Amino acid sequence: MSGGVVIREARRRARISQAELARRLGTKQSVVARWETLATAPTVESVAAAARACGFDLDLRLRPVDADQERVITEQRMRSPADRVASVVNVAALRRA
């Protein structure tokens, strides 16, 4: 997920405008708009500051890549939505058994 998407989500959850977030950050509304539309990429520090200004903490951590998880995600993306739903239903039924 890009920094601009994180900023937009934090701002929307906080129910504030781009102008209000910009005011809280001491920048211009156009800067926030460029981040959110992915026209420019904010720094990690800017993303963290924006999240904080919206009342959230940013949990950024490194974790090992799970090759099996990546394989499963790739396979699922190639399936139709109906097939994906059927798969989830089948797994849920197995867990109940």
Place of tokens 């209000």: 20
pLDDT digits (tens, 9 = 90+) for 27-79: 999 999 999 999 999 999 999 999 999 999 998 888 888 888 888 889 989 99
pTM confidence score: 0.64
Task: State how far the Cα of 1 lies from the Cα of 18, in Å rounded to an integer.
Answer: 19
pLDDT digits (tens, 9 = 90+) for 10-32: 999 999 999 999 999 999 999 99
Task: State how far the Cα of 52 lies from the Cα of 41, in Å rounded to an integer.
Answer: 18
Q: Please check whether residue 60 is in contact with residue 52, taking contact to mean a CB–CB distance below 8 angstroms.
A: no
Task: State how far the Cα of 86 lies from the Cα of 26, in Å rounded to an integer.
Answer: 49
